[in-house]
């Protein structure tokens, strides 16, 4: 293992158009004759629809289409549970439910038409307390839930859409024998993704086929969604993603492409939807889930962990979407990267009439890590131990066996802790209003199939064709680098054709920190295939053995005979060389089945990424204002292939984690409606708030992982940040804040 020190620089092919403003995002595109789309949203957060009348809207001059549930097939859709209709038919379940959609010649006319749509409702009991929704006598958000098609592993019951239990040993008996037992309850508010680019969709039909330009992170999921809700073949749907202005998970899953495609079909004209900032907050079925987290842990006096019990309740909101596995993710994070022999983790994902939650950067991890790492510091205090020493004694290492039975290979958890402690100067004397807190965490690599093509052009340059997405992942600079290394060329020799479902093979999208992990393997495999073809052709032309050839600087040379060579451009000819490759799912460790309930494939963390953050803060006791002064971030993400890109992920993730720690929260009223659906009151961390961030990479050449032993990078940086901030705050105050975010009001109150 080695700590990476010096950055390796690469140039992003899309960088210039982004920084100069010449790049064209979905909202910038203009199609001839395009119409403007507007939605009529629900007037209640839970109600039965008794009448919809669109007569006046359709009669308004300038309106070319009004679409309701009557104008599309009556099918349910959803990633893991099919529980939602494109347009609400009989019931609305949160304020962002779409009841109708309008396409008109101008935005003003479309808004006027939306207001003319008449909808009558019969209000139903509103379920906003997701913990209370667990009770068997609570109002059902989905009375017909048993009829929904869904993943059978989820453990659905009443309002519970996902249930996971992880049980090993006898936690109760172990707690009874412990020298010290600590209990804690922690509550987290929901959080928005808040990508600066608003959501935008354009749809255009040509005959019975539709092309959709959209700001999605998952074009293949969008293609499947449009085909399903409109009941047309997937081959009749083309999804193109122009420049994508960030997503942080909020642009995962299938959302509004189907609505706009339905409008465009009805209007027989191209239709464009661009969300307002308010819509971007409340209408999207993606926000970080609120949670209630309870821990009970026992230890021997020497710090040996004997047992942990946990109860987690997660707010899924009105619909499941692709986040049905979150109960299992939360349960794994409740274990944390610790050695545990006796555990009993109960995790429930619950329907409510709140905005649906789903993938936001490292779903479930920052909240559970924030609670667990505070809990570990509280346990250390009860034992009279330094919290770093407690972690040194209890963290996993190579060869450890997790509570679900996974044997861990080649990990550097303890090394990351030591590096973070070293970088922050842990133990230094500080002013009384400053302190250092430390937290650790882990995150899986998501293995999935992927494919790629690499073709040579007649001039000797190349084109990489991949389904990989680019919304900050760095694929536009990573993929050319991998191919160039295999072919003895330069990254600048390659262009990319990507984010187009008609051109590229399948990719799961920009989610799960998987782009390099999966698509990278596919691209390298395609480059190797192309290299083999070139070597065969060169061997024949040069009358040499393949074993005697090498690729150097755009040419194929005979070793020891530099005058015997042929350029790749000469071989390329009319562009007949094409390499193809598949990033097949690598070996995934199996967990023991016994003791695990609600398994959806995440009861083992494939090629786990390990993270330790140390944070120095200053706390104003009189106001409760917390200022993060310095963050030391140490990561084991396998072999680092692009230091500059990897560092960028950490900078962004840490700043996002600080926002989650101190200011970001979605505020809802008693009916589940947004109270701060705008950037004035939703407090994001800005550049002026960013602290000094020191980064260290502990490299491990990881088996069965991504290219060259790499792992994911994108999501882990925001996992332990809030926990480290919380532990630093507690050291200053001598008291803990058990609600997230730790706002000035909450910090001030805890310190009284």
Task: Note the pLDDT tens digit of each residue in 344-384.
Answer: 999 999 999 999 999 999 999 999 999 999 999 999 999 99
Give the CATH fold of the 25-124+202-246+252-274 domain: Aldehyde Oxidoreductase; domain 3 (3.90.1170)
Contact 535, 547 (CB under 8 A): no
Residue labelled with tokens 């450890």? 400
Please state the three-class secondary structure of 511-568 as a single string. Answer: CCCCHHHHHHHHHHHHHHHHHHHHHHHHHHHHCCCHHHEEEECCEEEECCEEEEEEEH
| φ, ψ of residue 235 in degrees (nearest 5) | -65, -10
Closest CA to 608 of 421, 411, 340: 411
Strand, helix or coil for residue 434:
strand
To the nearest 10°, report the CA torsion of 6, 7, 8, 11: -160
pLDDT mean over 578-594: 64
- C-alpha 356/C-alpha 545 separation (Å) is 61
- What pLDDT sits at residue 9? 56
- C-alpha 397/C-alpha 411 separation (Å) is 6
Phi-psi region of 155 (alpha: psi -120 to 50; beta: other; left: phi over 0): left
| φ, ψ of residue 597 in degrees (nearest 5) | -125, 145
Contact 687, 623 (CB under 8 A): no
- What pLDDT sits at residue 4? 42
- C-alpha 397/C-alpha 400 separation (Å) is 6
Report residue 412's pLDDT band, with 50, 70 and 90 as the boundaries: very high
- C-alpha 377/C-alpha 362 separation (Å) is 23
Q: Please state which CATH number belongs to domain 451-582.
A: 3.30.365.10
Tokens of 481: 């680098």
The pLDDT > 90 percentage for the chain reads 74
- What pLDDT sits at residue 2? 45
Closest CA to 377 of 315, 269, 299: 299
Closest CA to 511 of 449, 476, 468, 464: 468
Closest CA to 345 of 409, 407, 395, 297: 297
Other C-beta atoms closer than 10 Å to the C-beta of 498 total: 22
Contact 439, 25 (CB under 8 A): no
- Where do runs of H (alpha helix) occur along 446-487? 475-487
- Mind listing the pLDDT tens digit for each residue in 698-719? 999 888 888 888 898 989 999 9
- C-alpha 622/C-alpha 744 separation (Å) is 10
- What pLDDT sits at residue 604? 84
DSSP 2-28: EEE-S------TTHHHHHHT---BGGG
Contact 76, 258 (CB under 8 A): no
Tokens of 156: 């659905």
- Mind listing the pLDDT tens digit for each residue in 466-497? 888 787 777 778 888 889 999 999 988 999 88
Contact 191, 290 (CB under 8 A): no
| Total number of residues shown for the chain | 752
- Mind listing the pLDDT tens digit for each residue in 193-205? 999 999 999 999 9
Q: Which H or E element spans position 36?
A: strand 35-41
- C-alpha 327/C-alpha 291 separation (Å) is 11
The pLDDT > 70 percentage for the chain reads 96
pLDDT above 70 for 737? yes
Contact 437, 728 (CB under 8 A): yes
* Predicted structure pTM score: 0.94
Q: Where are the beta strands (DSSP E) in 130-243?
A: 160-168, 180-188, 200-206, 209-214, 237-240
- C-alpha 328/C-alpha 368 separation (Å) is 12
What angle, 0 to 180 degrees and rounded to 10, lies between the N-to-C axes of helices 475-487 and 520-542?
Answer: 30
* Residue of 697 and 251 predicted with greater confidence: 697
pLDDT above 50 for 6? no
Other C-beta atoms closer than 10 Å to the C-beta of 638 total: 30
pLDDT above 60 for 114? yes
Q: What is the DSSP letter of 287?
A: -
Tokens of 294: 């309870």
- C-alpha 573/C-alpha 183 separation (Å) is 71
Q: Is the preceding peptide bond at 134 cis, omega within 30 degrees of 0?
A: no
Across 356-370, 392-406, 581-595, least confident range = 581-595
Q: What is the DSSP letter of 398?
A: T
pLDDT mean over 239-257: 90
pLDDT above 90 for 80? yes
- C-alpha 736/C-alpha 749 separation (Å) is 10
Topology agreement, domain 291-446+590-750 and domain 451-582: yes
pLDDT above 70 for 550? yes
- C-alpha 712/C-alpha 607 separation (Å) is 9
pLDDT, the chain, mean: 92
Q: Are strands 343-351 and 209-214 parallel, antiparallel or unpaired?
A: unpaired
- What pLDDT sits at residue 587? 54
Q: Does domain 291-446+590-750 have CATH number 3.30.365.10?
A: yes
Strand, helix or coil for residue 485:
helix
To the nearest 10°, report the CA torsion of 654, 250, 482, 588: 90
- C-alpha 692/C-alpha 714 separation (Å) is 20
- C-alpha 500/C-alpha 15 separation (Å) is 20
- C-alpha 161/C-alpha 324 separation (Å) is 7
- C-alpha 194/C-alpha 684 separation (Å) is 9
Domain-by-domain residue ranges, the chain? 25-124+202-246+252-274, 291-446+590-750, 451-582
- C-alpha 14/C-alpha 24 separation (Å) is 11
Q: What is the DSSP letter of 590?
A: P
Q: Report angle CA 546, 548, 549 to the nearest 5 degrees.
A: 70
pLDDT above 80 for 593? no
- C-alpha 323/C-alpha 80 separation (Å) is 7
pLDDT mean over 447-455: 87
Contact 87, 68 (CB under 8 A): yes
- What is the edge-to-edge ordering of all strands in the sheet holding 180-188? 596-597, 160-168, 343-351, 305-317, 291-299, 180-188, 739-740
* Residue of 101 and 506 predicted with greater confidence: 101
- C-alpha 609/C-alpha 411 separation (Å) is 8
- C-alpha 690/C-alpha 615 separation (Å) is 12
């Amino acid at each position: 293992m080695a700590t990476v020190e010096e950055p390796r620089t690469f140039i992003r092919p899309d960088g210039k158009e982004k920084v100069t403003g010449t790049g064209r995002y979905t909202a910038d595109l203009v199609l001839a004759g395009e119409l403007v789309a507007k939605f009529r949203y629900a007037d209640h957060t839970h109600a039965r629809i008794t009448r919809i009348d669109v007569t006046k809207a359709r009669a308004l001059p300038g309106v070319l289409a009004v679409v309701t549930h009557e104008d599309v097939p009556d099918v349910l859709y959803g990633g893991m549970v099919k529980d939602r209709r494109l347009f609400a038919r009989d019931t609305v379940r949160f304020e962002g439910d779409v009841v109708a959609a309008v396409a008109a010649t101008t935005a003003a006319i479309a808004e006027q038409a939306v207001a003319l749509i008449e909808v009558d409702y019969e209000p139903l009991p509103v379920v906003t307390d997701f913990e209370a929704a667990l009770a068997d006598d609570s109002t059902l958000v989905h009375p017909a839930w048993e009829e929904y098609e869904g993943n059978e592993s989820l453990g659905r019951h009443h309002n519970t859409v996902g249930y996971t239990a992880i049980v090993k040993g006898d936690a109760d008996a172990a707690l009874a024998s412990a020298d010290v037992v600590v209990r804690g309850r922690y509550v987290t508010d929901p959080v928005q993704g808040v990508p600066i680019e608003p959501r935008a969709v354009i749809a255009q039909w040509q005959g019975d086929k539709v092309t959709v330009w959209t700001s999605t992170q998952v074009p293949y999921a969008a293609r499947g969604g449009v085909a399903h809700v409109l009941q047309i073949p997937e081959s009749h749907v083309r999804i193109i993603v122009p420049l994508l202005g960030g997503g942080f998970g909020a642009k995962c899953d299938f959302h509004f492409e189907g609505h706009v495609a339905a409008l465009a079909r009805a209007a027989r004209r191209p239709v464009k939807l661009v969300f307002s900032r308010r819509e971007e907050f409340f209408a999207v079925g993606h926000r970080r889930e609120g949670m209630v987290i309870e821990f009970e842990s026992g230890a021997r006096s020497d710090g040996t962990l004997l047992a942990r019990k946990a109860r987690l309740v997660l707010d899924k909101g009105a619909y499941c979407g692709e986040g049905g596995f979150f109960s299992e993710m939360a349960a794994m994070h409740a274990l944390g990267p610790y050695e545990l022999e006796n555990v009993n983790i109960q995790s429930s994902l619950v329907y409510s009439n709140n905005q649906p939650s789903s993938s936001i950067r490292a779903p479930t991890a920052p909240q559970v890590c924030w609670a667990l790492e505070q809990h570990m510091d509280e346990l250390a205090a009860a034992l009279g131990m330094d919290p770093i020493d407690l972690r040194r004694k209890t963290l996993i290492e190579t060869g450890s066996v997790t509570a679900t039975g996974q044997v861990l290979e080649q990990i550097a958890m303890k090394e990351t802790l030591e590096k973070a402690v070293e970088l922050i100067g842990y133990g230094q004397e500080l002013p009384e209003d400053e302190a250092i807190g430390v937290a650790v965490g882990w995150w899986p690599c998501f293995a999935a199939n992927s494919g790629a093509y690499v073709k040579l052009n007649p001039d000797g340059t190349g084109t990489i064709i991949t389904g990989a997405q680019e919304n900050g992942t760095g694929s536009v600079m990573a993929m050319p680098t991998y191919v160039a290394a295999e072919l003895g060329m330069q990254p600048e020799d390659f262009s990319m054709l990507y984010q187009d479902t008609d051109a590229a093979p399948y990719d799961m999208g920009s989610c799960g920190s998987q782009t390099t992990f999966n698509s990278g393997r596919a691209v390298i495999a395609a480059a190797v295939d192309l290299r083999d073809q070139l070597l065969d052709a060169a061997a024949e032309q040069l009358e040499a053995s393949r074993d005697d050839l090498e690729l150097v600087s755009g040419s194929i040379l005979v070793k020891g005979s530099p005058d015997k060579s042929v350029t790749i451009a000469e071989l390329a000819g009319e562009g007949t060389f094409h390499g193809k490759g598949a990033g097949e799912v690598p070996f995934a460790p199996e967990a023991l089945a016994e003791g695990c309930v609600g398994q959806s494939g995440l009861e083992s963390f494939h090629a786990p990424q390990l993270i330790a953050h140390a944070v120095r803060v200053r706390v104003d006791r009189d106001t409760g204002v917390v200022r993060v002064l310095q963050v030391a971030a140490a990561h084991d993400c396998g072999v680092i292939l692009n230091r500059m890109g990897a560092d960028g992920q950490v900078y962004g993730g840490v700043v996002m984690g600080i926002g989650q720690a101190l200011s970001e929260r979605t505020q809802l009223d008693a009916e589940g409606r947004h109270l701060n659906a705008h950037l004035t009151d939703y407090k994001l961390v800005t550049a002026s708030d960013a602290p000094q961030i020191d980064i260290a990479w502990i490299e491990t050449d990881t088996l069965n992982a991504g290219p060259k032993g790499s792992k994911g990078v994108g999501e882990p940086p925001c996992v332990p940040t809030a926990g480290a901030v919380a532990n630093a705050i507690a050291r200053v105050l001598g008291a803990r804040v058990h609600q997230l975010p730790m706002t000035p009001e909450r910090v001030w109150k805890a310190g009284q």
